[in-house]
Structure 1
Amino acid sequence: MKAGTLRKGRGAVISPDGRFDAWRREAADDGWWNEDEAAPATELMVDTAKSVITYNTSPDIPYDRTINPYRGCEHGCAYCFARPSHAYLGLSPGLDFETKIAYKADAAAILRRELARKNYVCRPVALGINTDAWQPVERRLRVTRGILDVLAETHHPVTIVTKSALILRDLDLLAEMARGQRVHVAISITTLDADLARAMEPRAASPRRRLAVVAALAAAGVPTAVMAAPLIPALTDHELEAILAAAREAGASSAGYILLRLPHEVKPLFRAWLDSHRPGHAEHVYSLMRQLHGGKEYDSAFGSRQRGSGPLADIIARRFRLAVRRLGLDAPSAPLDTTGFRPPPQPAVATPQMSLF
């Protein structure tokens, strides 16, 4: 990929090699660049797995298990903290992350087996946390819909974060689960600036469409929060109060925020995006990131990786607290009900024993 290339509908402008690769490539302009190649198609790969539930013990997140139907994300968000995970597949966290998507084709069947285990203990599962479970390819693959079918059938509680309007396709299940206090949904809104969103999140729903999703979910009785995420210093942080106010007007009942995260390959990827789309902003953004993380552009330590630390982080946190209190977005969400969980039947075990009749 030619360095600094803007590709229609794609977020990455560079494609760095993964940190586990034993070799490195360097882009060189030999005069043979063809602009017609600027919009690569999405390639799909089947991701085979024995389990779809991933467990964690991170002390700064409110859930201990997640399900991610996809690896990689067509939304192409330039800032996505999940991009480095594509290095585990031997692929670039740049363009490969948004064009080479792995999906768990048999996720629903595997989930059913996991929930049927005798030692399974029901607790809320977070759906689509690493990459968006309702990204564009879900429209035809319907992997997430299959997972949601199983969760609804077994009365298993679920929390969801998405920036996709496609979630409204599944409003029938979500409304049913909401009536049993088994679902919370959070809609991520990074900016209200449509032009900035189109460049930074090229295949995600527009800010206006996301607010419409908040309104539709709330109208159907689904507890809906807004996540001002990621909050990007010197680029979107000034919009914090406006995002919260717009979401409250649309019907959101609670709110949260997460600062921009720059792990591993995201650091050069987002800087390259800034250089291409917002010339002159990069050093200001990265200087403020260093102020938020004790001189480093990213700190992976639990407790500070999502909110930062120091005076600037305190100012942002205070702004958020004042805004949610003024808007009435500070009420705690009602706890999800785990008592109604109904394990699916144990799968039949093959046996050579013939039936008597």
Structure 2
Amino acid sequence: MQNDQVIPFVKNLRRGRGSTVNPDGRFESSRRDPIFDGWTDPETSGQPLRTTVTIENPKSIISRNTSPDLPFDRSVNAYRGCEHGCIYCFARPTHSYMNLSPGLDFESRLFAKPNAAELLAKEISRPSYKCRPIALGTNTDPYQPIEREYAITREIIQVLSDAKHPFTITTKSDLVLRDLDLLTPLARENLVSVGMSVTTLDRRLARAMEPRASTPGKRLSAIQELARAGIPTLVQIAPIIPGLNDPELEHIMEEARQRGAVSALYLLLRLPHEVSALFQQWLQETYPDRASRVMKLVRSTRGGKDYDAEFGTRMIGKGPYAALINHRFNLACRHLGFSRRKYDLATDLFQRPAAATKQMSLF
């Protein structure tokens, strides 16, 4: 079946979503495609796709990595999947481990971990635990829409606050402002920094590629409010998509700097596993006039491939076009006076939580 037959069938069902399709995960033994049988109008039939949340009770919550090109070695994710629906999200393939699709399932069939804060307190209370900054929001956004109801991220922050444990936040949502009461005193002790991801200032482009994230204007306003509260705030232009949003690089950095951002970083578009096909399908439907050029530029930064996972270059790419983006970024940083790094946080204030025990005290 041709792709142009599949897309219209699901178009009405995915209004307000990022992915255009819902392919089976790479671990599935069979493939299923929706079809139009001629009996119903594919543009008007069916119900809109609704978000569902499944409660998950993991046995541990701190994820560790030894990647040489990451500035952190541990992270905490309160949720699986992300309702923001960013079409480029490199975390989409993780839904395949749940026998779900990295497409529409990733942004509509979510998992919440309500025991995350309890597990975190237990893990950082262990005598063997060594304090280093914990990254929140490395896989899925800690402030995606369902956080308003579940407030798991706030509970996690409360645990870290009580222990004076340093942490970073990465988000595309101005919901982070809800927790200023917790973040502000932590910032005074250099225990927290926030990275606000701003990929474009074009509302139309933002709506198309990250449909349920905060608008660019709200993210810039959030940077300003965080900076006013004394919280070190970084602007993250992630991802840079060659031929699509890379012309905005300097403008985004300027706007963020004017609102008080102290530093900046960028990441080049990453298309691992199923993300490549999902992104290209979206690109063909949303920006057919530039799809070929965008992918040609993307491949020029990845050695002719859609993606290269090599450590050291996977985040910034290689080749002339990638070098040009890096040069532009460094020039803008110097011109705007960006300096502070995201993970320069205090670790010497850490107070290990008292370990929970079922044994009663003798006194």
Scaled by the length of structure 1, the TM-score of the pair is 0.96
Secondary structure of 2:138's counterpart equals coil
Where do residues 32-181 of structure 1 align in structure 2 (5 Å cutoff)? 32=40, 33=42, 35=44, 37=46, 39-181=48-190
Q: How far apart are residue 343 of structure 1 and its match? A: 1.2
Q: 1:350 to 1:192 in 2, by over 3 A?
A: same
Shift of 1:334: 7.5
CA distance 1:356–1:306, shift in 2 (3 Å): closer
- How many pairs does the alignment contain? 354
Partner of residue 304, structure 2: 295
Contact 2:86 2:210 in 1 (8 A): yes
| Alpha-carbon offset, residue 335 of structure 1 | 2.1
Counterpart residue number, 2:315: 306
CA distance in 1, matches of 2:362, 2:167: 43
- Contact 1:154–1:344 (8 Å) recurs in 2: yes
Give the match for residue 346 of structure 1. Answer: 355
- Rounded to whole Å, the distance in 1 between the matches of 2:202 and 2:119 is 41
Which residue does the alignment assign to 1:25? 32
Structure 2's unaligned 5+ residue stretches are none
In the other structure, the counterpart of 1:233 is 242
Q: Which amino acid in 2 is paired with 1:213? A: A
What corresponds to 1:319 in structure 2?
328
Q: Identify the match of residue 3 of structure 1 among 7, 10, 19.
A: 7
Compared CA separation, residues 277 and 292, structure 1 to 2 (3 A) = same
Instruction: Tell me if the contact between 2:17 and 2:211 (Cα under 8 Å) persists in the aligned partners.
Output: yes
Indicate how the Cα distance of structure 1 residues 165 and 261 shifts in structure 2: closer, same or farther if over 3 A, else same. same
Could you give the per-residue CA deviations for residues 198-245 of structure 1, whole angstroms, max 9, x where no partner exists? Answer: 111110000000000000000000000001111001100000010000
8 A Cα contact 2:198 2:236, kept in partner: yes
Residues 265-304 of structure 1: matches in 2 within 5 Å?
Answer: 265-304=274-313
How far apart, CA to CA, are the structure 2 residues paired with 1:85 and 1:265? Answer: 10
Deviations 1:116-156 (A, max 9, x none): 11111110000111000000000000111110110001000
Distance 1:38 1:191, change over 3 A: farther
TM-score norm. by structure 2 comes to: 0.94
Using the TM superposition, name which of 25-34 and 160-169 deviates more. 25-34
8 Å Cα contact 1:17-1:91 kept in structure 2: yes
Q: Could you say which residue in structure 2 is the equivalent of 1:258?
A: 267
Cα RMSD of the aligned pairs, angstroms, is: 1.6
Partner Cα distance (2:47, 2:278) in 1: 18
* Contact map agreement 2:71 2:343 (CA 8 A) in 1: no
The one-letter amino acid of 2:271's match is L
2 CA distance for matches of 1:338 and 1:331?
Answer: 17
Q: Within the alignment, does 1:12 sit opposite 2:19 as a pair?
A: yes
**In 2, Cα distance between the equivalents of 1:70 and 1:259?**
24
- Which residue pairs with 1:197 in the alignment? 206
Would you say the 8 A contact 1:9–1:39 is kept in 2? Answer: no
Mapped contact 1:11–1:76 kept (Cα < 8 A): yes
Contact 1:10/1:39 (CA < 8 Å) preserved in 2? Answer: no
The answer on whether the counterparts of 1:67 and 1:127 sit within 8 Å (CA) in structure 2 is yes
- The question of 1:217 aligning with 2:239 is answered no
Q: Which amino acid aligns with 1:46?
A: I
Tell me the SS of whatever aligns to 2:135: strand
Q: Tell me the CA shift for residue 40 of structure 1.
A: 1.0
Question: Distance in 2 between the 1:283 and 1:25 partners?
Answer: 27
Percent identity between the aligned chains? 51
Which residue identity is paired with 2:205? Answer: L
Judge conservation of contact 1:13–1:94 (CA < 8 Å) in 2.
yes
- State the Cα distance separating 1:37 from its structure 2 match: 3.2
Correspondence for 2:215: 206
Matching residue's letter, 2:190: Q
2:93, 2:154 → 1: CA distance? 26
Change (3 A) 1:356 1:14: closer
C-alpha distance after superposition, 1:53-86 (max 9, x if no partner): 0010000010000001011000001111110000
Deviates more, 1:263-272 or 1:19-28: 19-28
Cα deviation for residue 194 of structure 1 reads 0.5
What SS is found at the alignment partner of 2:7? coil
In structure 1, C-alpha distance between the alignment counterparts of 2:67 and 2:331, rounded to whole Å: 28
